[in-house]
Amino acid sequence: FFLLGVFCILFLHLLLCLLTSLRKGPVWPETTYILGQQNNHAPSPLAKSYGNIFTMWAGPIPVIVLSGFQAVGDGLITKAEDLADRPETPFFNAFANGKGIILSNGRTWKQQRRFGLSTLRKLGVGKKSMEHQIEEEVRLLVETFAKEKGQPLDPAFPIVNAVANVISVAAFGHRFSTDDEVFHQLVESVRYILNFAGTTSHMLYELFPWLMRYLPGPHKKTLACRDFIYSFVRKEIKNHEAAGTLDDPRDFIDFYLAKMEKVRDSTSTFDEDNMVHDIFDLFLAGSDTTTTTLQWALLYMVNHPDIQEKVQKELDNVLGSSQLIFYEDRKKLPYTNAVIHEIQRFSNIILIGVPRQTVKDTVVLGFPIEKGIAVLPDLCSVLRDPEQWETPQQLNPNHFLDKDGNFVTREAFMPFGEGHRMCLGEQLARTELFLFFTTLLRAFSFRLPEGVKEISTNPVVGASVHPEPYQICAVPR
Ligand code: HEM
Q: How far is the centre of ligand 1, averaged over its atoms, from the C-alpha of 17 (Å)?
A: 32
In the reported structure, the alpha carbon of residue 282 is separated from the centroid of ligand 1 by a whole-number distance in angstroms of 9
- Residue 465, beta-bridge partner list: 461
Contact 345, 383 (CB under 8 A): yes
Q: How far, in Å, from the CA of 417 to the mean position of ligand 1?
A: 8
Q: Whose CA is nearest to atom 20 of ligand 1?
A: 423
pLDDT for 7: 52
The Cα 291–Cα 194 span in angstroms is: 13
Handedness of CA 232, 237, 238, 240 (dihedral sign): positive
Q: CA torsion angle for 305, 307, 311, 313 (degrees, to 10)?
A: 70
Best residue among 423, 431, 434, 435 to mutate for probing ligand 1's pocket (most ligand atoms within 8 Å of CB) is: 423
Q: What is the 3-state secondary structure (H, E, C) of the chain?
A: CHHHHHHHHHHHHHHHHHHHHHHHCCCCCCEEECCCCCCCCCCCHHHHHHCCEEEEEECCEEEEEEEHHHHHHHHHHHCCCCCCECCCCHHHHHHHCCCCCCCCCHHHHHHHHHHHHHHHHHCCCCCHHHHHHHHHHHHHHHHHHHHCCCCEECCHHHHHHHHHHHHHHHHHCCCCCCCCHHHHHHHHHHHHHHHHCCCHHHHHHHHCHHHHCCCCCHHHHHHHHHHHHHHHHHHHHHHHHHHCCCCCCCCHHHHHHHHHHHCCCCCCCCCHHHHHHHHHHHHHHHHHHHHHHHHHHHHHHHHCHHHHHHHHHHHHHHHCCCCCCCHHHHHHCHHHHHHHHHHHHHHCCCCCCCCEECCCCEEECCEEECCCCEEEEEHHHHHCCCCCCCCCCCCCHHHHECCCCCECCCCCCCCCCCHHHCCCCHHHHHHHHHHHHHHHHHHEEEECCCCCCCCCCCEEECCCEEECCCCEEEEEC
Residue 338, CB-side half-sphere exposure with 13 Å CA sphere: 22
**pLDDT tens for the chain, residues 1 to 477:** 444 454 545 555 554 444 444 444 444 334 444 433 333 334 444 555 556 898 888 767 789 999 999 999 999 999 999 999 999 999 999 999 999 999 999 999 999 999 999 999 999 999 999 999 999 999 999 999 999 999 999 999 999 999 999 999 999 999 999 899 999 999 999 999 998 988 889 989 988 999 999 999 999 999 999 999 999 999 999 999 988 777 788 999 999 999 998 888 878 899 999 999 999 999 999 999 999 999 999 999 999 999 999 999 999 999 987 678 999 999 999 999 999 999 999 999 987 778 999 999 999 988 899 999 999 999 999 999 999 999 999 999 999 999 999 999 999 999 999 999 999 999 999 999 999 999 999 999 999 999 998 899 998 887 788 999 999 999 999
**CA of residue 378 to ligand 1 center, whole Å:** 15
Which ligand 1 atom minimizes the distance to the CA of 417? 16
Query: Pocket around ligand 1: residues whose beta carbon is below 6 Å from it?
Result: 101-102, 113, 167, 281-282, 285-286, 289-290, 293, 349-350, 354, 415-418, 421-425, 428-429
CB neighbours of 172 closer than 8 A, spacing ≥ 6? 236, 251, 252, 253, 279
The verdict on whether omega for the bond into residue 29 sits within 30 degrees of 0, i.e. cis, is yes
C-alpha of residue 426 to centroid of ligand 1, in Å: 7
Q: Which residues contact 352 (CB under 8 A, 6 or more apart)?
A: 376, 378, 379, 380
> Ligand 1 center to residue 160 CA distance, Å?
16
What are the residue ranges spanned by the domains of the chain? 106-352+391-476
Q: Residue 379 and residue 234: Cα distance in Å, rounded?
A: 34
Using the atom order of ligand 1, give the atom closest to the CA of residue 287.
Answer: 27
Q: What is the pLDDT of residue 287?
A: 92
Report d(CA 76, CA 418) in Å as an integer: 6
pLDDT digits (tens, 9 = 90+) for 143-178: 999 999 999 999 999 999 999 999 999 999 999 998
pLDDT score of 366: 87
Tell me the best of 416, 420, 431 to mutate to test the pocket of ligand 1, counting ligand atoms within 8 Å of each CB and taking the most. Answer: 416
**Pairwise CA distance, residues 332 & 129, whole Å:** 21
Q: Return the pLDDT at 201.
A: 92
CB proximity list for 161: less than 8 A, separation 6 or greater: 141, 176, 178, 183
So what's the pLDDT on residue 324? 86
> Which residue type is seen at 436?
F
Exposure of 149 by Cβ count < 10 A (0-12 exposed, 13-18 middle, 19+ buried)? exposed
Give the pLDDT confidence score for residue 463 in this predicted structure: 76
CATH architecture of the domain formed by 106-352+391-476: Orthogonal Bundle (1.10)
User: For residue range 273-324, what is the model confidence (pLDDT) as tens digits?
Assistant: 999 999 999 999 999 999 999 999 999 999 999 999 999 999 999 998 767 8
The closest alpha carbon to 189, from 154, 231, 138, belongs to 231
Nearest-atom index, ligand 1, CA of 415? 5
pLDDT at res. 452: 92
